[in-house]
Structure 1
Amino acid sequence: MASELFSEFFWSRLGPTNHDWPCEDTERHGAATHPCDVVYYYDEPYAARQTYVHCDLKSYAKGTITAAAVKAAVESLGKQVACAERSDEWRKLHTHDNVTFSVSGLLFVYNHDGEYEADFQKNLVHIAPESLQLPRGSKLFVLGPREIFWLDNIRADIQRMRGKATPEVPAPEHCFFFHPQLMRRANLQVKKAKAATLETLTSPIIILEHRDPRRPVSRGVLIFYSRPGDTVDEFMYLIDTMRKYDLLDENTTVTVKTLGASPISSPTFQKAQLQYIEGLTGSGVYTDLGEYVKAIRYEPMRETRTVYSNIDLGTWG
C-alpha cells in the first residue's frame, strides 16, 4: 500500500526492501542489526539536497495496538535513523552517489481491517524526544490510521479526477505539489522538487498545482484541507493563505477539497468568501481580487476506504 500511496505524492523508492543491515552502535542500541522495510527519497524544495525516508511499515487490526508497542516502534526507528546516517552499508544500498542528503524516519501505522476509531495520537504523548537518540537535525514522523486514510483519499481523488472522460487533472508530468516562497526560506528547486515533503503530508493544507499542456498559461490548484471547516474564521484564514501564496489570479482555478468535514462546512465557506470580499473594500465594491475569491470552488470529497491484507505489511510483534 505504501508504494502505491507515496508514488502519487512523487516519492521514489530506492534499494532493496525488507532486509537487515549492521548496527553501527551495538553497545548503545543493544542490537547487531537493524531492519529496513523500504526507503523512499525526494528532492527538497528549500535546500539543494535529497531527503531519504527510512520507513517502518506496521499493520494491525482493531484492538491489537498498545501505547507500549507504538513507543517501542518509535524508539527502534530512532535507532535505525541514527545508524543510517553513519552506515556505509545503508548508504550504498539506499542513496545516490555524489548527492547531499539527510535521513528521516517514518513510522507508517496502517489499520488493515479499517475499524480503528480511537485517537492514535494519544499513543505518542508519553514518548520523550530524548529517548529517540536521533542525530542533530534528523527528524522522525509518524503517520497513524487517520492520517493514512486522509492521504489515501487524496490519492484516490487525484486518480479519479485524472481518469475522467474529460480529465480534471492532467498526467503526473504536468503536476507538482506546491511549496510557497517564504520570507526567509526560498523555494530553490521549483521545477525539480515536485514531491510532497513529509512536512507537507503532515500539514492540514496540501496543495497540488497542475498545468494544462494545451493551455500552459492556465493553472489549476487543488487545496486538500483536513480541518473541520466549522467556523468562518478558519476559512477566512485559508483564503488569506491563498492570497499570500499568490494562488489567486485570473489564470488560476482554485478548488478546496475536504473529507468528512463539518456538515455546515459548505455554507460556512460561502460565508467566509462573502466576508473576505466585503473586508477588502466594503460591500458592493467590485475588485479583481474579490472576483478571484468568489470563484474559489468548495468540493467535499467522496470517501474511499482501501482495505489490504495484513500479509502485505509488517504486523506488531
Structure 2
Amino acid sequence: MENEHTAAQAEIVASELFSEFFWNKLGPTNHDWPCEEQELHQVKTHPCDVVYYYDEPYAARQTYVHCDLKSYAKGSITSLALKVAAESLARQVACAERSEEWRKLHTQDHVTFIVSGLLFVYNHDGEYDKDFNSSLIGITPESLQLPRGSRLFILGPKEIFWLDNVRDEIQRMRGKKNAEIPQAEFCSYFHPQLIRRANLQVKKAKAATLETLTSPIIILEHSDPRGSAKRGVVVFYGRAGESADEFMYLIDTLRKYELLDGRTDVVVKTLDASRVSSPMFEKAKLQYLEGLAGSTTDLGDYVRQIRYEPMSHIKTSYSNIDLGTWS
C-alpha cells in the first residue's frame, strides 16, 4: 500500500496545501499515543500523522484536524482500504477527545475546541480515474461510531487535485510582477453572515474551514495593503459551468453574501470547466440583469463588472528518487 517515501509525498502535498488555507500545525508528527479504549478498539496505541488547527468563524472555539495522510498508487485505492482507514481514523478521533496525552501534545491551553478527522487520499502516480465516491459506499455512520458532535471528512484524488490548483493559482496571482492579490497577511477566506449562524470571529477566523474546502465555492477575500476601503474577492468555483442557471445561482449567492458593491472587485475562477462555461457565464449575467428591477441600478453595474477567468491546471508530483529512495 504505502512505503516510507510514498507516504512522504502525501505529507508534503498536505503541508503545502493547508498552509495556503491558513491551517497551522501543532505538536509532533508521525507518532503513536496510547489508546483510551484498548478493549473496544483492540489496539494499545493509535497513530498520528499530523494535527492542524484553525479558528472557527461561527463559534468561539478552535477545530483540531487529526489527519491520516495516505499516498496510494492507482490500484491501492479500493473500497476495503478506504473503509479500514476511515474506521481506524474514527477510533483515533474518539480517543483524541478523551486523551490527556493527545491534548497535551496537540492543543493550546485554555482553548475550547472540537476534534475532526481528515482522511487525505493522495494518488501519487496520478493515474486514478475511477469514481472515488463509489468506493466510499461501505463507510457508514454506524461503522464509524464517532462521538456525538465529531465529524470525519475524506478528501480523494479529485478533491486534492482541485485544492492543489486553487493553491497554485493563489500563489501565481500573488507572485506576479503586477500582483493581482496581496501578501497573505491581507487575505482571508470569506465566511458569510448567515441568518442563524453569525460570524463571531470575523478578524480572527481567516482560515478556510473543512466545510469550505469540501464545498464547490471557495472565496478568498483581500484588502488593500495601502489602507483604502477597496477589497478584492476571488471566487474559486468547482463545478462545470454548463448552464446559465448554474451561474445565475452563483451570482445571486454573491449578492446574498453582500460581495457585490462599489468597492469590491470580483473574479470567478474555474478549473477544467465546460467548454461553454465562458459564454454561459456571460449569458447568466445578461439574464440576471433582465431579472432586476432595472439594469441601470447600482447592482446591475456590479454584476456587469464580475470577471470570469478559467484556470490552467497543474498537477503536483514528487519523484521517489527525489525523496531519497535511491542511494
Q: TM-score, normalised by structure 1?
A: 0.96
In the alignment, the residues of structure 2 paired with residue 206 and residue 73 of structure 1 have an alpha-carbon distance, to the nearest angstrom, of 27
CA distance in 1, matches of 2:156, 2:321: 19
Letter in 1 for 2:297: T
The Cα shift of 1:64 comes to 2.0
Distance 2:38 2:135 in 1: 27
Q: How does 1:116-265 map to 2 (within 5 A)?
A: 116-265=128-277
C-alpha separation in 2, matches of 1:64 and 1:312? 22
SS for the counterpart of 1:281 is coil
Name the SS of the counterpart of 2:163 in structure 1: helix
The amino acid across from 1:188 in the alignment is L
How far apart, in 1, do the equivalents of 2:280 and 2:302 lie? 18
Aligned residue number for residue 8 of structure 2: none
Among 296, 307, 314, the residue aligned to 1:297: 307
Aligned equivalents of 2:178, 2:223: Cα separation in 1: 15
Counterpart CA distance in 1 for 2:196 and 2:41 is 38
Change (3 A) 1:59 1:32: same
Indicate the residue corresponding to 1:85 in structure 2. Answer: 97
Q: What is the CA-CA distance between 1:212 and the residue it aligns to?
A: 1.4
1:119-155 residue CA offsets vs partner (Å, 9 max, x unmatched): 1111111212111121100000000000000000000
- Do residues 40 (structure 1) and 40 (structure 2) align? no
CA–CA distance in 2 between the matches of 1:131 and 1:294?
50
Contact preservation (8 Å) 1:112, 1:309: no
> Using the alignment, how far apart are the partners of 1:145 and 1:36 within structure 2?
21
Answer yes or no: is the 8 Å Cα contact 1:219–1:253 preserved in 2. yes
SS of structure 2 residue aligned to 1:86? coil
Provide the rounded CA distance (Å) in 2 between the counterparts of 1:299 and 1:65: 33
Aligned positions, number: 311
> Which one of the candidate residues 307, 311, 315 is aligned to 2:317?
307
Aligned counterparts of 1:311 and 1:219: Cα–Cα separation in 2? 44
Q: Which residue of 1 aligns with 2:5?
A: none
Unaligned runs of 5+ in 1: none
Which 10-residue stretch deviates more, 23-32 or 119-128? Answer: 119-128
Matching residue of 1:109: 121
CA distance in 2, matches of 1:128, 1:200: 22
Aligned mates of 1:248, 1:165 — CA distance in 2? 27
Distance 1:215 1:248 in 2: 20
Structure 2 Cα separation of the partners of residues 310 and 144 of structure 1: 21
* Aligned equivalents of 1:55, 1:208: Cα separation in 2: 24
Would you identify which runs of 4 or more consecutive aligned residues in structure 1 move more than 4 Å? 309-313
Task: Give the drift of 1:308.
Answer: 2.3
- 1:275 matched to 2:271? The reply is no
> SS in structure 1 opposite 2:120?
strand
Residue 65 of structure 1 aligns with which residue? Answer: 77
CA deviation map 1:278-301 (0-9, x unaligned): 11025xx41110010010000001
| Residue 28 of structure 1, aligned match among 40, 44, 47 | 40
Equivalent-residue separation in structure 1 for 2:278 and 2:222 (angstroms):
24
User: Which amino acid in 1 is paired with 2:272?
Assistant: G
**Distance change >3 Å, CA 192–CA 310, structure 1 → 2:** farther
Task: Point out where structure 2 has 5 or more consecutive residues left out of the alignment.
Answer: 1-12
Whole-angstrom CA distance in 2 between matches of 1:161 and 1:18: 33
Alpha-carbon distance between aligned partners in 2 of 1:16 and 1:92, rounded to the nearest angstrom: 11
Cα distance change on mapping 1:40 and 1:310 into 2, 3 Å: farther
For residues 152 and 132 of structure 2, what CA distance do their matches in structure 1 show? 16
Change in Cα spacing, 1:54 to 1:311, as seen in structure 2 (3 Å) is farther
User: Secondary structure of the residue that 1:306 maps to in structure 2?
Assistant: coil
